[in-house]
Amino acid sequence: MYKTRKLENTRIEVADALRGIAVVGIILYHAVEHFNLGTASRASLSLSIDPTVFNVLTVLLSGKMYGIFALLFGLSFFIMRDNQEQKGKDFSLRFAWRMVLLFGFGILNLVFYDGDILTFYALLGLLMIPAGYLSTPVLWALTLFLLIQPLEIYSLVSGWKPDISAMGKHYMALMRAHATGTFWESMVANMQHGFAASALWFVAKGRITQTLGLFYLGLLFGRHRLFYNEGNHLKVWRIVLAVSTVLVTVGVIFGAAGDGDVHFGELDALLHPLFNLAILLFIVSGVTLLWYAFAGFRKGLSHICFFGRMSLTNYLLSSVLGTCILYGWGLGMYKVLGTTWSLLLGAAIVVLQIVLLYQWSKKHKRGPLETLWRRLTWLGKPSA
């Protein structure tokens, strides 16, 4: 059983920067996908480069930004749990309540956006509680097992395939409601079909085991204090960067489709999540090394740090803004903006949120929803 090492958990600014990069990437990709409305190819303002732009953004962002979120989710769990353990307190019930609250935020997000991730993080997050008690060697073994996509391996070996046939029906109902329905009809469709569609998509893309594996990997990074510039930690990150660079290069060479996309044929269900993991580790290790190597890099990401500390607020706010602009019950811009123009819309949403939340940050340490989540988590009791 793991026991705290009683080392101080100071603020990890590079983690805030990574979280900020992740939320920016999520907003950009959601905008390109028209927040799951997915009709950019038929928009009136389309460009010849749109298909290539979409494929390149898919390679760079899809699965990687949520993966960074998942990794840092595990890191945050470790910090909160370790801080409480150092005081002789068990964090398990408090964290379970925190996941109930996160599920509630996810339902709020689902009102606007059918691809909500918070509800899944809340449910899978409950499995962080038993993992926190495991010894580090056992947790490493479990983490690696989850990250190698065991269900996909079993599927290839046995011939068993998960039944995801209902996914298309759910997404068609959602797209219909978002394109032509009222806000109420869109919301009802999200509640009826959103969670089910996302769950089936998670299964189809191997996201369930990988997300949980990344939660545990973040927990392990916290135990090993890898995001602190201590001991040989930067050497570890250089090794991670070197290995991930090789894996990404090999993946691009063997999976290149000629239009910016990457696909691995019949093995795609197994290899694509691993390819995403390699890109994710490349980004995380590269940013961490640059952060500690160059003061200018740290200064350049200063705005991203506060943006990352308000990731929950940013995530929900982007859903509100994006759907209001793109869906039929709002401005209906899904009919107008092709992929490249949608990317620019996503960038505009990011800039607007940075401006708004920068003003908020002048008087508040945390974002509005982060403050609410913290207060409800501790119910008036000090957490630190």
pLDDT of residue 39: 66
Nearest alpha carbon to residue 314 among 14, 98, 30, 36: 30
pLDDT of residue 43: 83
Q: In sequence order, what DSSP letters do the residues of 255-285 get, joined into one string? A: HB-SSS-B--GGGHHHHHHHHHHHHHHHHHH
Percent of the chain at pLDDT above 70? 97
pLDDT tens column, 16-41: 999 999 999 999 999 999 999 976 66
Instruction: For residues 359-377, give the mean pLDDT.
Output: 92
pLDDT of residue 75: 97
Percent of the chain at pLDDT above 90? 77
* Rounded Cα–Cα distance for residues 230 and 196 (Å): 44
Instruction: For residues 336-362, give the mean pLDDT.
Output: 94
Instruction: For residues 49-57, give the mean pLDDT.
Output: 90
pLDDT tens column, 189-229: 999 999 999 999 999 888 999 999 999 999 999 999 999 99
pLDDT band at 171; cut points 50, 70, 90: very high
* Rounded Cα–Cα distance for residues 138 and 144 (Å): 10
pLDDT of residue 313: 96
pLDDT band at 262; cut points 50, 70, 90: confident
Instruction: For residues 170-183, give the mean pLDDT.
Output: 95
pLDDT band at 7; cut points 50, 70, 90: confident
Residue 292: C-alpha distances to residues 14, 79, 180, 219, 305 (Å) = 9, 21, 50, 21, 15
pLDDT of residue 83: 94
Residue 317: C-alpha distances to residues 311, 350, 360 (Å) = 10, 10, 14
Lowest model confidence (mean pLDDT) among 8-17, 37-46, 98-107, 173-182: 37-46
pLDDT tens column, 96-146: 999 999 999 999 999 999 999 999 999 999 999 999 999 999 999 999 999
Would you say 285 and 79 are in contact if contact means Cβ atoms under 8 Å apart? Answer: no
Q: Full-prediction pTM beyond 0.75?
A: yes
> How much is the mean pLDDT over the chain?
93
* Rounded Cα–Cα distance for residues 246 and 60 (Å): 16
pLDDT of residue 254: 85
Instruction: For residues 339-350, give the mean pLDDT.
Output: 96
